[in-house]
């Protein structure tokens, strides 16, 4: 094992579906090579709850749909030198942002009161629940984002390419073959 300090990576899913994380794990055996240079801080992969204060790279999946998302995003921005917006939802709100067509009230009423198949109609309300933002937003509207990794999800190769570039101290770039928004 190399004695060189490993690059610390944190990851999170905000208003996302974990699809990006799944795709990331799809790098399969390449993860072995990666792990030689990388260690994971806060991430759903290891269930660490907070970022080390000196993370190198933060991978953010998902946009912002509630107050908690904003808190987590800010923690990442404060802890990570580089923030990468991963996937369609982090980049432009994605599918969750399709609720922006409606008011919050309309969404909640449809989901918890009037929708088909609703039992016990009641809009959940508890101080433990994070409040919803009136609209879903992409993360670059709230913090500075250093790089973008589009796709729904981005292909495993794209993760590998961007991380490898960064590990090698290069500007990350995506070859056209793996650049897609879907």
Partner 1 sequence: MSEANNNTIIIDGKEIPFTEGQTIMDAALAADIYIPHLCHRPGLKPHGSCKLCTVEVNGRSASACTLPAASGQEVSNNTEALTEVRKTITQMLFVEGNHFCPSCEKTGDCTLQAVAYHLDMLDGHFPQFYPKREVDASHESIVLDRDRCIMCELCVRASREVDGKDVFAITGRGVDAKLIVNSASGKLADTDITTDDLAAHICPVGAILIKEHGYETPIGRRTFDLHTIAEPGLEPVILRKGKHADEH
Partner 2 sequence: MHSNNGPDNNAGSPAQQGGDNHLLHRLYELQQQFQHIPKQAISDLATELNLPISQVESVVDFYSFFHRTARGRYDILFSNCTSCGDMAMMHKLCERLSVTPGETRADGVVSIAETSCIGMCDQGPALLVNGRTLTHLTNRRLEQIAEQVDAGTPVADWPVEWFRVHDNVRKNGLLLSTGFEAGSGLLSAIHQGPEELLEEIVKSGLRGRGGAGFSTGMKWKFCRAATGDAHYVICNADEGEPGTFKDRILLNSHAHEVFEGMTLCGYIIGAQKGYLYLRGEYRYLLPELQAVLKRRHKAKLLGENILGQQGFNFDIEIIMGAGAYICGEESALIESMEQKRGIPRVLPPFPVTKGFLDQPTVVNNVETLAAAAQIAVHGSDWFKGHGSDKSAGSKILSISGDCTTPGAYEYAFGVSIQRILDDCGAEDVQAVQVGGPSGTLIAPDEFERKLGFEDLATGGSFMIYGKDSDLLAVVQNFAHFFAHESCGFCTPCRVGTTLLRNGLDKIVRGHGTQYDVDEMFRMATLVKRRSHCGLGQTAPNPILDALKRFPGIFESRLVNSEFEPHFDLDAALEEARQISHRDDAEAHLV
The footprint of partner 1 (CB under 8 A) covers 85, 88, 91-95, 97-98, 100-101, 135, 137-138, 140-141, 145, 147-150, 152, 174, 176, 179-182
State the Cα–Cα distance between residues 173 and 159, nearest whole angstrom: 11
Determine which residue in the list 137, 150, 152, 160 makes contact with partner 2, applying CB under 8 A.
Answer: 137
Size of the site for partner 2 (CB under 8 A): 20
Determine which residue in the list 31, 142, 178, 179 makes contact with partner 2, applying CB under 8 A.
Answer: 142
Cα 164 from chain centre: 19
- Site of tokens 């009423």: 109
Smallest separation, CB 115 to partner 2 (Å): 16
Shorter beta-carbon distance to partner 1: residue 41 or 133: 133
Determine which residue in the list 141, 170, 173, 181 makes contact with partner 2, applying CB under 8 A.
Answer: 141
Q: Which residues contact 46 (CB under 8 A, 6 or more apart)?
A: 40
Q: Is 101 in the site for partner 2 (CB under 8 A)?
A: no
Shorter beta-carbon distance to partner 1: residue 41 or 84: 84
Smallest separation, CB 109 to partner 2 (Å): 9
Q: Is 135 in the site for partner 2 (CB under 8 A)?
A: yes
- Site of tokens 């009641």: 122
Smallest separation, CB 15 to partner 2 (Å): 13
Phi-psi region of 8 (alpha: psi -120 to 50; beta: other; left: phi over 0): beta
Three-state SS letters, 79-94? HEEEEEEEHHHHHHCC
Cβ atoms of 74 and 145 closer than 8 Å? no
Smallest separation, CB 36 to partner 1 (Å): 28
E-strand ranges in the chain read 7-13, 38-40, 55-61, 64-66, 80-86, 132-137, 147-149
Applying CB under 8 A, which residues contact partner 2?
67, 70, 103-105, 108, 123, 125, 127, 130-135, 137, 141-144
């Amino acid at each position: 094992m190399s004695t060189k300090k490993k690059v610390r990576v944190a990851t999170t899913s905000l208003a996302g579906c974990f699809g990006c994380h799944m795709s990331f794990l799809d790098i399969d055996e390449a993860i072995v090579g990666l792990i030689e240079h990388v260690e994971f801080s806060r991430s759903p992969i290891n269930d660490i709850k907070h970022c080390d204060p000196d993370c190198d790279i933060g991978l953010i999946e998902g946009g912002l749909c509630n107050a908690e998302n904003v808190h987590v995003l800010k923690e990442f921005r404060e802890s990570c030198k580089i923030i990468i917006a991963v996937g369609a939802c982090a980049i432009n709100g994605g599918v969750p942002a399709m609720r922006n067509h409606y008011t919050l009230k309309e969404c909640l009423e449809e989901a918890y009161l009037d929708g088909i198949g609703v039992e016990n109609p009641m809009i959940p309300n508890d101080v433990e629940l994070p409040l919803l933002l009136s609209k879903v937003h992409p993360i670059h509207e709230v913090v500075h984002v250093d790089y973008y990794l589009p796709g729904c999800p981005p292909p495993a190769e794209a993760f590998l390419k961007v991380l490898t570039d960064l590990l090698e101290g290069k500007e990350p770039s995506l070859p056209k073959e793996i650049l897609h928004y879907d």
